[in-house]
Amino acid sequence: MIQKRKCVVLVVNEDRCVGCGLCISFCPSEALAAWGVCAIDKERCTDCLICVDYCPVDALEMTEESTK
């Protein structure tokens, strides 16, 4: 039987993001980039969530996503 489980996914709230670049500066995996609002490279992101703490406008959000 395949069981559904929840996992944490990091998303950028584009309405809130101002593009200050602080999250990029503190990301240990270089998984964030910005040439506008910030974007997450899902391949590099390790879900350490350090960027969430460094965002001054709470634009990086953790959402729970169902996976199979």
Partner 1 sequence: MKQQKYDVAVIGAGMGGLCAAALLVHHGYRTLVVEKLPFVGGRASSFSYKGFTLPTGSLYVETGGVVEGIFKEVGADFPVRPFPIDLCFRIGGKDYVMAKKGGLRGLISNFASEKETQSVMAALRRAFAWNEPSASISIRDWLLQYTQNDKVLAVFRGLSTYQCVNFCDMPASEFVRQLKLGGGATAGAPPQGFLELMNQLVKAIEAKGSRVWTGCRAKRIIAEEGMTKGIVIERGADQIEIAANAVISDVGPHQTVDLSGRGNFEKGYLKELREKVLPLSYIGLAISSNSPLVDFRGVTFLPEGRRQVSVMCTSLVYPEYAPQERHLLQAWATPDSSFLPLDPKKEIDMVVQDLREAIPRFDREAEILHVSYWQKDWPMYRALPGAISQKTPVENLYNVGDGVAPLVPLGLPGCAQSARIVVDDIKQQMKPGAA
Residue choice 26, 46, 48, 62 for contact with partner 1 (CB under 8 A) = 26
Q: Which two tokens stand for residue 28?
A: 């240990």
Residue of 62, 63, 61, 51 whose CA lies nearest to 20: 51
* Candidate list 56, 66, 67, 68; residue touching partner 1; CB under 8 A: 56
DSSP string, 14-32: TTT-----HHHHH-TT--E
Give the nearest distance from C-beta 33 to partner 1 in angstroms.
10
Rounded to a whole number of angstroms, the minimum distance from the CB of residue 21 to partner 1 is: 5
Q: Is residue 16 part of the contact set for partner 1 (CB under 8 A)? A: yes
Q: How far apart are CA 40 and CA 46, in angstroms?
A: 11
Q: Which residues bind partner 1 (CB under 8 A)?
A: 16, 18-22, 24-26, 34-37, 53-54, 56-57
